Chains A and B, each alone.
Chain A
Amino acid sequence: MKKIILLFAIAVVAFGCKSDDDNNNVPTNAAIAFKFTQNWNGAEVTPSNFNTGVYENEAGNFVSISKLRYLISRIVLHKEDGTSVAFEGYNLIDLADASSLNFNPSTPATTGDYTGISFVYGFNEQDNSSGAYLDLNAADWNWPSMLGGGYHFMQMDGTFDDTNGAPQPYNFHNGTARVSEGVFEQNFITFDFEQNFSITDDATIEIKMDISEWYKNPLTWDLNERSVDLMMDYIAQKDMNRNGKSVFSIGAITQ
């Protein structure tokens, strides 16, 4: 009797609060976390080193970063059977706040085989509604109404050495592009990565940003030419969008 109770107790404790199991045939819920990491051409950029490093961009500018914040929304996992798991919410990543590098949506995925991951850098047109997100308002993340409103997609600030070697500020800010007064153009980027993977348990998926890509692909961005007052600059905004398309990739999936 003792043994039975003991076994029962162990079994319930072991599985009572766990939402998954290893049954291969029956999909079960798995908690998915997203971990955002940043690198400069492969060299890790972390909350502890982001404002002390000096990096050379494609144009040969020596760049330091004092602030990096960006927004990711509409993360979706695509299953082999054609269905998908769409995670609600968005994540404002702020390198000054280590906790913001992890996003733990409440929606679970199910175990099984997957074929891809997609997400939106910034907000798409439907989501980019001025004032709609209370936490982002309090974070002062809004994009000016005169530039189309909604929210910033990224704020990357720092300094670079100009042609005389003197430090100059840059404000690499991205959001909706203003074509002319009252005329605006969407500027978010949808990423759609085809990648086969299996979810067998609770999992963490790494989303990587290679910061150097903002400055090099396809356009070599020279901060001596464009460094500040870029928000109202239509060409600058669209060039950021072009270069942004190669910035993100999927890293490790651990479970």
Chain B
Amino acid sequence: MKERSSKTTLLILGVFTLSIMVACSSNDPEPAESVDGYVATPQPLTVPPIFQRLLPPPTIPADNPQTVEGIALGRKLFYDPILSGNGTQACASCHNPSNAFTDENQFSLGIDGLEGTRNSMPIYNMAWNTDSKFFWDGRATSVEQQALEPVTNPIEMHNTWENAVGSLQNTNLYPELFNKAFGTKTITKELTAKAIAQFERTLISANSPFDQYLLGENSLTPQEINGFAIFMDESRGDCFHCHGNEFNPLWTDNIFHNNGLDAAITDKGLGNITGDPSQDGWFKSPSLRNLAYTAPYMHDGRFATLDEVINHYSEGLVYSETIDPLMKAVSRGGVQLTEPDKADLKAFLLSLSDPSFIDNPNFQDPN
């Protein structure tokens, strides 16, 4: 009886302690994933000065911290055609560093020579994608999730993850690289995507002439400065409502708009993902960084030049039911910029391009 009483007391104390622990839990994030306690070498992102000054810290998922080994593995995978169905295409085939990690095609060709309906997106500043929606239509909710899709997309790399993982597992090199990055030689699609995402998060662009101007390190031409004034002027360019300003160095609002491209919406974009017809034809505002390298433009790559893009907003807007009200001048075709204003605006836009980004040796093919 005494022993039973003692056990009961212990049980009560145990429940009590557990209750306190549960009740007072501070919801600590899950520890970083590792196998058998393995921890790779941490390598936090280097936040550039202009971001440090003006933006929140980068968003890194708790279960995929940046590590030396993870980034190196991701970089190798990004450039390795082993992930594709016939071993001919890597991520970098459509996301080329010299094009700010997009390519020069309107629609990229997959391994079977098939083309899609969307323009390959450039890749940079992914850790500052504040709404965590990726792709033109926002269908992925993390870089990791985004990285999973092209491998199996039949018009892209047209593989299965089972096959891709098998190919990686059968190499002499990759099991050991995964072991160094994640503490296991057993390769999975999730770990593959994590490594690629780590590399992609290192692709930070924040050293354009305009960044240097904001940091007081150089000056701009009068034409570039006037172009910026047009960009910020609600009665002229009115670009800033979707594309940033001198205090938002992302140069995007990271949200979705119908920017008046078509009278009849054939590609529903975000509306196709949410099922909300009021969002048909909405696509993510792309950043205006690195435009010098990312032609053609728009979600469907319809504009070959920056001049065509500016002309679209100046004279080419087309009404549809879901057009964003920010396309306020649609009834007269656009904001009607003068030719000199267009030239100045273009000069400013090009000052957001960052040669040191596309030339960064840490971002090139390591294979």
Residues of A within 8 A of B (CB): 1-2, 5-6, 8-9, 12-13, 16-17, 51-52, 66-67, 130-131, 134-135, 137-140, 142, 144-147, 155, 157-159, 167-171, 227-229, 231-232
Contact = CB atoms under 8 A, between A and B. Distances in A.
Interface in B319-354: 321, 323-331
State which size class the interface on B falls in.
35 or more
A138 B128 contact: yes
Interface stretch (B80-88, B169-177, B200-208, B233-241): B233-241
B253 to A, nearest CB: 4
Given A1-B9, A137-B55, A144-B232, 4 more contacts: A2-B8, A9-B15, A144-B245, A167-B321
23 contacts: A2-B8, A5-B16, A6-B12, A17-B24, A51-B278, A66-B324, A131-B54, A138-B130, A138-B248, A138-B250, A139-B253, A140-B240, A140-B253, A144-B232, A144-B245, A147-B234, A169-B325, A169-B327, A169-B328, A171-B325, A231-B234, A232-B233, A232-B234
A227 B250 CA distance: 29
Question: Chain B CB within 10 Å — which of A134, A168, A170 has the most?
Answer: A134
B5 interface: yes
Contacts of A159: 325
Given A5-B12, A169-B328, A232-B235, A13 B55 contact: no
Interface in B231-265: 232-235, 240-248, 250, 252-254
Contacts of B242: 140
A227 to B, nearest CB: 8
Given A5-B9, A232-B234, A67 B325 contact: yes
B233 A146 contact: yes
A134 to B, nearest CB: 5
A171 B248 contact: no
B35 interface: no
Contacts of B250: 138
Given A1-B9, A13-B16, A168-B331, A134 B325 contact: no
B23 interface: yes
Contacts of A67: 325
A5 B13 contact: yes
B40 interface: no
Contact of A9 (B19, B247, B252, B330): B19
Contacts of B29: none
A240 to B, nearest CB: 15
Contact of B326 (A12, A52, A157, A167): A157
Contact of B23 (A16, A130, A145, A157): A16
Contacts of B326: 157, 169, 171
B87 to A, nearest CB: 40
Interface string B1-41: 00001001100110110011001100000000000000000
Contacts of A5: 9, 12-13, 16
A77 to B, nearest CB: 26
Nearest to A51: B278
Given A12-B16, A135-B56, A158 B5 contact: no
B263 to A, nearest CB: 13
B229 interface: yes
Interface in B285-309: none
A137 B214 CA distance: 15
A127 to B, nearest CB: 15
Nearest to A170: B325
